[in-house]
Amino acid sequence: MNNEEYEYAGFWIRVGASLIDVLLLSIIILPLTIMIYGDLTWEGQGVILGSADFLINYTLPFIATILFWFYKSATPGKMALNIKIVDADTGGKLNFGQSIGRYFAYIPAMLIFMLGIIWVAFDKRKQGWHDKLSKTVVIVKRKRKNIEF
């Protein structure tokens, strides 16, 4: 990878990629959930409506996200905006453990008013807490300034 072609991806482009991902996941997940649970989808009193709900709304996004990160270094939203997630030290692809760790590192990043996500806007390497915990950086293809790994 030629470091001169990349820079750290900032807060707003990452928000845009996340919105694309949420839209795409919703297009898949919502119809499946409605087909199985009908009106309970909207009226459900618990966090999880049943085993199918758990598979569709929790397991499917987990597996899809991990596989996209591991094989493509990006989710579809990131790919649409030319963003990649790479190892913070080498600039190489994430390993499987980093992918899983990054996914679960979103939990502490979102717990306190999303501070760990907002952190991207102020960090010199544009890392959120989930990036720091999994030793990753998110980069975007540009020709402005060098980045160091």
Please give the pLDDT value at position 46: 77
Q: Does the residue 121 lie in any domain?
A: yes
Share of the chain above pLDDT 90, in %: 81
Q: Does the residue 85 lie in any domain?
A: yes
What total number of domains does the chain contain? 1
Residue range 14-18: mean pLDDT, rounded: 98
What are residue 62's DSSP bridge partners? none
Tell me the chain's radius of gyration from C-alpha atoms.
17
What's this model's pTM, rounded to 2 decimal places?
Answer: 0.87
Q: How far apart are CA 143 and CA 68, in angstroms?
A: 25
Q: Does the residue 45 lie in any domain?
A: yes
Domain extent, residue 27, equals: 3-141
pLDDT digits (tens, 9 = 90+) for 57-72: 999 999 999 999 999 9
Q: Does the residue 146 lie in any domain?
A: no
Q: Does the residue 14 lie in any domain?
A: yes
Q: Does the residue 148 lie in any domain?
A: no
In 3D space, the residue among 80, 93, 100, 75 whose CA is nearest the CA of residue 137 turns out to be 93
Residue 133 half-sphere exposure toward CB, CA atoms < 13 A: 17
User: E strands along 45-135, which residues?
Assistant: 83-87
Length of the chain: 149
Q: How far apart are CA 37 and CA 50, in angstroms?
A: 9
pLDDT band at 48 (very low <50, low <70, confident <90, very high): confident
pLDDT digits (tens, 9 = 90+) for 66-97: 999 999 999 999 999 999 999 999 999 999 99
Query: For the chain, what is the mean pLDDT?
Result: 92
Tokens 């992918």 -> residue: 99
Q: Does the residue 118 lie in any domain?
A: yes
Long-range contacts of 105-110 (CB under 8 A, 24+ apart): 105/129, 105/130, 105/131, 105/133, 105/134, 106/130, 108/133, 109/133
Q: Does the residue 15 lie in any domain?
A: yes
